[in-house]
Amino acid sequence: MAEKEKLGVLCSGRGTDLQSIIDAIGRGEVEAEIAVVLADKPEAFALERARKAGIKAVCVNRKQYEGREPFEEALIKELEEAGVTLVVLAGFMRILTPLFVRHFAGRIMNIHPALLPSFPGAHAHRDVLAYGVKVSGCTVHFVDEGTDSGPIIMQAAVPVLPGDTEETLGARVLEQEHIIYPKCVQLYCEGRLKVEGRHVHIIEGEKA
């Protein structure tokens, strides 16, 4: 029997996407192990979620490092020591440099709360509402050296309703995030994601 993928989950805040993956693993829907959860700020509630689930939780405090590369080197060290095979960004509010992305090339997944390539960046819900679009959603993608620009794995759409605020729209999008992110992690674990340029093909059936 093949060894399970070991996930390293990077968070900055509440960790609800992390929780959705923890829960999916508990239900047997994701055949992986979370080897470590890393947060870039000590108050991130994601650390508490990890500890409650018996998962190693480490704060790599961005403020304690001079510059991005020393910070990322510390992240890489923690991930490598934990034997991580797939890096999962779950509300990690830092743009990763080529140093990190190249180290884990093809093995970093992110979820973004909009339908990429529209509305990249840190304020997706605000930008969606300001632009007046009628549909938003979320996107799971592989991470490349750009900002929210990597090959798209899966998307889910939600309506933008009259009177929506960032909070109400965000809650609707988050429900979909919690559905599609664990699915994408499981597809990776099954070896069913094939990347060709900008296209991610989902291979039908069992493991490739």
Q: What is the CATH number of the domain that holds 142?
A: 3.40.50.170
pLDDT for res 208: 43
Give the H or E element holding residue 159.
strand 152-159
Domain that holds residue 132: 5-202
Cβ burial, residue 152 (10 Å; 0-12/13-18/19+)? middle
At 206, the pLDDT band (50, 70, 90 cuts) reads low
Q: Which of 112, 125, 141, 178 is catalytic?
A: 112
Q: Is residue 163 part of a domain?
A: yes
Does the pLDDT of residue 177 top 80, yes or no? Answer: yes
Pair 92, 129: CB distance under 8 Å: no
Number of C-beta neighbours around residue 11 at 10 A: 27
Q: Total domain count for the chain? A: 1
Instruction: Note the pLDDT of residue 205.
Output: 73
Q: What is the pLDDT of residues 122-170, one digit of tens each?
A: 999 999 999 999 999 999 999 999 999 999 999 999 999 999 999 999 9
Residue 178 annotated as catalytic: no
Instruction: Determine, yes or no, domain membership for 208.
Output: no
Confirm whether 26 is domain-assigned: yes
**pLDDT at residue number 3:** 86
Asked if the structure places residue 80 within a domain, the reply is yes
Please list, in sequence order, all residues whose beta carbon lies within 8 angstroms of the beta carbon of residue 41, skipping any fewer than 6 positions away.
12, 59, 61, 62, 63
Of residues 26, 22, 13, 72, the one with CA closest to residue 51 = 22
**Which three-class secondary structure state does DSSP give residue 15?**
coil
Measure the CA–CA gap between 96 and 187, rounded to whole angstroms. 24
Bridge partners of 188, per DSSP, are none
- Of 19, 54, 7, 68, the closest CA to residue 177 belongs to 19
Q: Is residue 207 part of a domain?
A: no
pLDDT of residue 162: 97
Tokens of 121: 């960046």
**pLDDT over 70 for what percent of the chain?**
98
Mean predicted confidence (pLDDT) in 57-70? 95
Identity of the amino acid at 119: F
Q: Is 90 exceeded by the pLDDT of residue 2?
A: no
Helix, strand or coil, per DSSP, at residue 115: coil
Q: Note the pLDDT tens digit of each residue in 98-118.
A: 999 999 999 999 999 999 999
CA 59 vs CA 62, 74, 92, 134: distances in Å: 9, 10, 12, 39
